[in-house]
Chain A
Amino acid sequence: MNQCKTLLKKEWWINWKQLLLPVWVSLAFIGVCIIGLLIGLIKGKGITYFRMEGNFPPGFNNLFLFGSVQTLNIALGFLSIMVAIMLADNLINGGFKLKCEILHQSQPVSLTKILSSKYVFLILGSFIVYAVISFIGTLVITFTQMYFTSALFYFGFYAWLQSAVELFFTLIFVCSLFWFFACLFQRKSFFMGILTLIGIELAIKILNYTSALNIPSLLSYLSKFIKISSDPGFGKAMDLNVNTLISIVQANWKNILSNNTLLKLLYSAILTLGGSLFYKRRELI
């Protein structure tokens, strides 16, 4: 346990700047927003400038709150996933590139512990950073809209919660996929991974074309698992009554925690273990 804690600490010392990249980007975004707000105020447009204007049906404010929080979470989720992909390569190959892996692997600690701590750091680290920033962003958006449009807190909170849960499983899947590639390719693992996927897709297309087979597309199959946030289906609502909207939001859990989620976890486990096996076969030259 002590060794695992030390390994996690070491990963933090090495990778904290990269892990917190979404924080730096968010801070930069907030900075730009504040400057925009100040410019607006200086031009005399006042804070009401940001109020929604126009004739919207009652209940639309809740819908708008849900949508805006979801948009924020999709943007942050995408950023977090991209950072996690880079982090996966750094965690697996950083020591080899810098020729310092020998220091870490000359210690009496099993490769399983080393790899587990890297994986936990990758998934939990990325998710916690995402969850904290997105929650703060959600609170800011929600309270602002509650103040100006009397939207309900429930919609902001559930938009965040559902996005966070969905992103958690997507993050596991994408990280495991690129973890596998990072273990397989010591250099330029991201590009090599993408090339591998494109290569397989092309091979499928050629086979389908030449042999009249009907092998389904790998990329469209994978894209099913790379959703950051699902549409609860508000478009089908007969009215924008709060109770109707709440029931739609609650029904959305079925989309988020579905058989696809189980498949995501299953594939993630296979990719993680497969990658780890490749990693264990590496030589320390």
Chain B
Amino acid sequence: MTEESYIVHNVTKYYGKFKAIDSVSLELRQGKIIGLLGKNGAGKSTLMRCMLGFLNHSGEVYIDGNLIKRRDPKFFEKVAFIPDVSGLDDRLTVKQTIDYVKRINPKWNEVTANKLLEISNLPVNKKVSQLSKGMKTKLYLMITLSLDVNYLILDEPTLGLDIAFRKEFFNTILNEFYEGNKTIFISTHQVEEVEDILQEIVFIDKGKILLHEEVHTLKELFKIVSLPLEQSEKIMQYNPKVYTKNMGFMNAVLSSDIEIEGAIYGKANLADIFLAMVGGTNESV
């Protein structure tokens, strides 16, 4: 066990009889940006909530070598979290929300906060309930990224935001938070938007971790193979879980060590690789 890391050891979570998380073990090393990719209902949010001590579960979670007890307040001096639904308090105004977190959280960084507030253009005197979904997400991002914590856990952080702010978030705002010693664990549907910044990726399906790998290593393990439709049996002999047929060609993601005569090869992105491993359609990722 590395001293400075976030470790999930053999965590299992049941909702009634349904096993939402199945013996998950994971190590998030410090200074990494790690993506969590899974279909809807794969257990992404549940895993994150177990990691934060919000749910009862079996197994252990350690942060920097210390066992996390459920709802341990000291833990949140190291970790900040943005949930997948807007978890802001609609009863407060924007100003009150910022003021509340600023006063209650000793990790608040006023300089970062002012910088982020300037970028985000938030109407400070409005009630949170009067904000659009995108504005709410901006506010949540603003208050969370203003905290000097070592670990940032983001569950679908840009849900409801327009493409311009999503780009700004991933390219600019996240950089404000990211320093060499900080760790970001991020689950998102828009994997194409984050894959350039991710260093590691975790695939989760039916509550189980399928893979935890460095992104560049993973991309080297797979490639897109294209062949004319009349030669499709050459692809099908490798039993690809997902394949597409378009413009007279069959495309599938296969292991990079497979060589097929006459095939055209292309680079697979994370969504392609995920689907190749799990099966299903692109829409569910």
Q: Interface on A for B, CB 8 Å cutoff?
A: 2-3, 5-7, 9-10, 13-14, 94-95, 98-111, 280, 283-285
Contact = CB atoms under 8 A, between A and B. Distances in A.
Contact of B89 (A2, A3, A14, A284): A14
B36 interface: no
B282 interface: no
Contacts of B49: 284-285
A106 B155 CA distance: 14
Contacts of B105: 107-108
A66 to B, nearest CB: 42
Given A13-B91, A100-B88, A111-B73, A105 B54 contact: yes
Contacts of A101: 87
Given A14-B91, A95-B89, A107-B76, A2 B103 contact: yes
B104 A109 contact: yes
B73 to A, nearest CB: 4
A105 B92 CA distance: 16
A99 B97 CA distance: 15
Interface string B90-120: 1110001100110111110000000000000
A6 B77 contact: no
A98 B85 contact: no
Identify which of A6, A9, A106, A280 gathers the most chain B CB atoms within 10 Å of its CB. A106
Interface in B155-209: none
A284 B55 contact: yes
Given A102-B83, A106-B80, A109-B73, A283 B92 contact: no
Contacts of A110: 73
Given A283-B54, A285-B49, A285-B55, A108 B73 contact: yes
A102 B87 contact: yes
Given A106-B76, A106-B80, A108-B73, A100 B89 contact: yes
A108 B76 contact: yes
Contacts of A100: 87-90
Contact of B52 (A10, A94, A106): A106
Given A6-B104, A10-B96, A107-B104, 5 more contacts: A10-B104, A100-B89, A102-B81, A283-B54, A284-B55
A3 B73 CA distance: 12
A111 to B, nearest CB: 6
20 contacts: A5-B103, A6-B100, A9-B100, A13-B96, A13-B100, A94-B91, A95-B89, A99-B85, A100-B87, A100-B88, A102-B87, A103-B87, A103-B88, A106-B52, A106-B76, A108-B76, A108-B105, A108-B107, A110-B73, A285-B54
Nearest to A15: B91
Top-5 shortest CB links A-B: A284-B54, A6-B103, A102-B87, A108-B76, A100-B89
Nearest to B103: A6
A284 B49 CA distance: 8
A285 B89 CA distance: 16
Contact of B55 (A6, A111, A283): A283
Nearest to B52: A106
A107 B101 contact: yes
Interface residues of B, number: 31
B157 to A, nearest CB: 14
A106 B74 CA distance: 10
Nearest to B102: A6
Contacts of A14: 89, 91-92
Contacts of A102: 54, 81, 83, 87
Given A106-B80, A108-B77, A7 B104 contact: yes
Nearest to A3: B104
A109 B74 CA distance: 8
A104 B74 CA distance: 14
B80 A103 contact: no
B56 interface: yes
B19 interface: no
Contacts of B77: 108
A101 B74 CA distance: 18
Nearest to A283: B55
B71 interface: yes
